[in-house]
Structure 1
Amino acid sequence: MGRGDLVVAVCGATGAVGREMLKTLEQRDFPATTVRAFASARSAGTTVPFKDGELVVEELTEDSFKGIHLALFSAGGATSKKFAPHAAKAGCIVVDNSSAWRMDPEVPLVVPEVNPDDVAWHKNIIANPNCSTIQMVVVLKPLHDAAKIKRVIVSTYQAVSGTGQKAITELETQVRQLFNMQEPEAKVYPYQIAFNCLPQIDVFSEGDYTFEEIKMIKETAKIMGDESIKVTATTVRVPVFYGHSESVNIETEEKLTAAQARAILAQAPGITVYDNPSEKFYPMPLLAAGEDEVFVGRIREDQTIDNGLNLWIVADNIRKGAALNAVQIAELLLTRGMLG
């Protein structure tokens, strides 16, 4: 390696998010001299597309990180827990997409549009937040800065791609089975997902909240840097392939009109305000799929309280909700001279 070389690894490169990470590195022209793809032993030797060619997938081991400056992990929590410390010890900075490190007080949880300064205190591991949390806090932050948010009530409508490739295949298969008058098989989810909504994402835990709901509650406070913001969540899986939607109600200390909120959000980074009810302009998963921005619309005042707003937020969960946010963290490290 030469003095200016930058070597990047994608761990979990054969999965939906891993492949999107490779595509995002390419599309954003991330200045890596070398990009390497890692996955489990069963995927070693296969190939994944990158730029004009392909990368041969290598087996991820504890000794894989010598000479690697940055590793983007999207291989599940158990894999991250096992391998990220070895990468960190080898001097490699890990940006991890799993939930393994998010609530560790020693690990920054970063959304570049919201809390970029938190990268300054990393110890070679940085956590990528939950997909549904990311798109919500991108919108909440500028409103919080303007009027201080006291309370958030969020209901999500989350695409099957958030579960992974097996869930995408299951939805496709069930639709075909139903159109062919066959009984749909449910393997990934506890019930049929085609033409259905499941008010359970992850397993149930304390107070009968699911882990997905608890993630949104706890991660929001950590990212926003304000424990006083009260959050309650209901997360729902819907039969959509790509794009998470969220109905978000906020209560603020200072009054914000809908027009003021639109103006604030229109100037905020990473956001597209798509809000014109008279022309039926509002965000939808089909609009957001494949896009980098977080879309917000249906901005209106909550008439049941003095300082309340309703918002409808949509983003591609594989892009901004996972791969793009991880690459943006890498770009942040690069611009701050913390990489390579």
Structure 2
Amino acid sequence: MGYRVAVVGATGNVGREMLNILAERKFPFDEIAALASSRSTGDMIALGDTDRELKVRNLEHFDFTGWDIALFAAGSGPTKIYAPKAAAAGCVVIDNSSLYRMEPDVPLIVPEVNPDAIDGYTKRNIIANPNCSTAQMVVALKPLHDAATIKRVVVSTYQSVSGAGKEGMDELFEQTRAIFVNDPKESRRFTKQIAFNVIPHIDAFMEDGSTKEEWKMVVETNKILDPDIRVTATCVRVPVFVGHSESINIEFERPLSVEQAHEILREAPGIMLVDKREDGGYVTPVECAGEFATFISRVRKDPTVKHGLNLWCVSDNLRKGAALNAVQIAELLGRRHLRKA
């Protein structure tokens, strides 16, 4: 007997990827519902690369009673309305928005990092999925933290436009084409031209001069991994369609050599180490797109602190940063609590 699973926001980038990954990983569902707004009701959407298509159902009229898991990829607005209704109906919500991440009674989960925290889901029947840039970073940090205790992290991100949704991807494509044919360039989704440019601004600015995206990386890392780790972040949007990259500088309490870090990372769950000190001996967003792993390259000593390392971290933000992590949470929930399949 399998699960009854609803995917909320099924027609968006992350929702479609959730359907792909549910199919790829052969998640044990008996029934699956693709939910979206009334604009998409009645549309047909593929269930991954299977022969099945799902008719999109109207979220506004959907009854979650009798459904086991709802994967939400609809943004904070619809989630605020419908996630509590699903949870109250007995359906466990796994939410990809930022709405519940810092709620103290909602677990914020990356299965490779803090699986035990999922046990707290019963307080609200809601589990939060972290920010895309945080998710891949804590996967990389966790095994190193266990080995030598991280004191401080300095991270600069290079985040793809798919993190801003379909509109972001469309804007990069349209601006790139406009430049080649000498048409006017419009910036609607981003604050400045994104084609052939980088923008050091993701989400709203806060009083201290940081952006909300940078703040998320700090507070989410502390909640998921360790509240004593000091984190500072600079988040940048780059003209890449899929795949977030991060340059991470780590200061440890105890010594950790490059060779030891390599050995640890090779064995760590969810990580693929590709670190050859030669041309092309590292991973870029192009190679990581469509992959499940978080890729680590360019591991090297930081000589400016007593115990420091630098590394390069790349992952498909639509997968590990969003849809894959949500499905992994659903798998973990099934193993530890629901146990239907």
TM-score, with structure 2 as normaliser = 0.97
2:60 alignment counterpart: 61
Does residue 27 of structure 2 align to residue 30 of structure 1?
A: yes
Superposed, 1:88-167 pairs within 5 Å as 88-123=87-122, 124-167=125-168
**Segments ≥4 residues shifted beyond 3 Å:** none
- Report how far residue 45 of structure 1 moved: 1.0
- Report how far residue 6 of structure 1 moved: 1.6
- Report how far residue 63 of structure 1 moved: 4.8
RMSD value, Cα: 1.0
Does residue 170 of structure 2 align to residue 181 of structure 1?
A: no
The one-character-per-residue Cα deviations of 1:148-203 (angstroms, maximum 9, x if unpaired) are: 00000000000000000111111111111000012211111111100000000001
Secondary structure at 1:206 match in 2? coil
Secondary structure at 1:236 match in 2? strand
Q: Is the 8 A contact 2:2 2:28 kept in 1?
A: no
Return 5+ residue gaps in structure 2 as ranges: none
Determine the C-alpha separation between the residues in 1 that align with 2:230 and 2:135: 17
1:216 alignment counterpart: 217
Q: How many percent identity over aligned positions?
A: 55
Q: Is the 8 A contact 1:97 1:127 kept in 2?
A: yes
Secondary structure at 1:8 match in 2? strand
- Report how far residue 107 of structure 1 moved: 0.2
1:48 alignment counterpart: 45
Return 5+ residue gaps in structure 1 as ranges: none
1:207 alignment counterpart: 208
- Report how far residue 96 of structure 1 moved: 0.3
2:301 alignment counterpart: 301
1:332 alignment counterpart: 332
Does residue 299 of structure 2 align to residue 261 of structure 1?
A: no
Output the amino acid matched with 1:71: A
Q: Judging changes above 3 Å, is the alpha-carbon distance between structure 1 residues 68 and 339 closer, same or farther for their aligned structure 2 residues?
A: farther
Determine the C-alpha separation between the residues in 2 that align with 1:274 and 1:184: 38
Q: How many pairs were matched up? A: 336
Determine the C-alpha separation between the residues in 2 that align with 1:211 and 1:61: 30
Superposed, 1:240-251 pairs within 5 Å as 240-251=240-251
Output the amino acid matched with 1:306: K
2:282 alignment counterpart: 282
Output the amino acid matched with 2:58: E
Output the amino acid matched with 1:19: R
Determine the C-alpha separation between the residues in 1 that align with 2:201 and 2:5: 36
Determine the C-alpha separation between the residues in 2 that align with 1:84 and 1:211: 23
Does residue 235 of structure 2 align to residue 238 of structure 1?
A: no
TM-score, with structure 1 as normaliser = 0.97
Secondary structure at 1:204 match in 2? coil
- Report how far residue 5 of structure 1 moved: 4.4
The one-character-per-residue Cα deviations of 1:117-137 (angstroms, maximum 9, x if unpaired) are: 111111310000000000000
